[in-house]
């Protein structure tokens, strides 16, 4: 029995390790891609390369500043209301016990009045974290399942997933804005007489493809962080079946979360925009989350 448990937890640690380095490798190439884009677009318009570098540095600074306020914006747009221990003692005690087990501060707790079952975490670090759940998830899940979900969300906070996703969201916005400004300048700008035609053709192609590529990278990072949070959450509860069963129940609920948007969908434990999106192979490529069936299969193999 001891060897069996040791094998399970070695598998969990291996999953966590793989997802960490894969995520940061993707993020590294994302930053490199954004910097290259800034350089090529500004150079093709006849500006000095230093202009692109300045724009990119500004974007990086802005990305690190933005996450200070991202949690407040997300909580406000989802209609989450803060609650205290007296309002829902069981919810509070579960989070309290899990936070103590993780060695992290107890996050602020929020509830969204919505029958759809879902949950998310936000905040730039464990000291400024918040966990929100819907009334639907509190009603549908038993204690073990709710513990699995909350352990998953606390893992997002401990692993700094919310910070990583906030930075990638800003980089996606920066790339889209840069592409838009490039086309506006190309159409209405006056500084085009010294442009290199070959470089300009490359820049136009990049400006068209860059926002799509950036969004795909963002989605890939989001999916990796979900796998990581699943593994980390199980490491905390020592009970993979709790989260697996919870994912089955949540995914079986066909109701979308009314206050969720495409900008906040990646934060939730499963995609809250149920029934919306692409079909076939594009479902995985453009999904904010890994397939539920795959997540459940991995959890039950631990």
Would you name the residues annotated as active-site residues? 153
Rounded distance, CA 68 to CA 31, Å? 20
Q: Phi and psi (nearest 5°) for 107? A: -75, 165
Q: CA–CA separation, 266 vs 263, rounded Å?
A: 7
3-state secondary structure 117-152: CCEEEECCCHHHCEEEEEHHHHHHCCHHHHHHHHHH
Long-range contacts of 19-22 (CB under 8 A, 24+ apart): 19/224, 19/225, 19/227, 19/228, 19/231, 20/159, 20/228, 22/224
- Total residues found in the chain within this entry: 302
């Amino acid at each position: 029995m001891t060897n069996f448990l040791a094998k399970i937890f070695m598998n969990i640690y291996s999953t966590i390790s793989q997802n960490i380095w894969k995520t940061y490798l993707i993020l590294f190439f994302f930053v490199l891609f954004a910097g290259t884009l800034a350089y090529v677009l500004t150079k093709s318009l006849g500006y000095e390369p230093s202009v692109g570098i300045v724009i990119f540095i500004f974007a990086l600074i802005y990305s690190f500043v933005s996450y200070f306020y991202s949690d407040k914006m997300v909580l406000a747009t989802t209609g989450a209301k803060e609650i205290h221990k007296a309002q829902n003692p069981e919810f509070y005690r579960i989070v309290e016990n899990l936070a103590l087990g993780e060695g992290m501060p107890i996050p602020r707790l929020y509830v969204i009045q919505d029958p759809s079952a879902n949950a998310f975490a936000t905040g730039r670090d464990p000291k400024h974290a918040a966990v929100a759940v819907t009334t639907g998830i509190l009603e549908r899940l038993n204690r073990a399942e709710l513990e699995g979900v909350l352990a998953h969300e606390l893992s997002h906070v401990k692993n700094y997933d919310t910070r990583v996703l906030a930075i990638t969201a800003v980089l996606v916005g920066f790339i889209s804005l840069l592409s838009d400004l490039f086309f506006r300048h190309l159409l209405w700008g006056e500084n085009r007489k010294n442009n290199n035609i070959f470089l300009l053709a490359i820049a136009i192609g990049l400006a068209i493809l860059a926002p799509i590529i950036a969004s795909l990278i963002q989605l890939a990072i989001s999916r990796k962080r979900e796998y990581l949070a699943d593994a980390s959450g199980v490491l905390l509860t020592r009970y993979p079946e709790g989260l697996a069963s919870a994912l089955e129940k949540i995914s079986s609920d066909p109701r979308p979360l009314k206050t969720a948007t495409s900008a906040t969908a990646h934060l939730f434990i499963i995609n809250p925009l149920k029934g919306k999106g692409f079909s076939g192979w594009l479902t995985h490529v453009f999904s904010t989350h890994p397939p539920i069936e795959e997540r459940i299969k991995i959890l039950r193999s631990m």
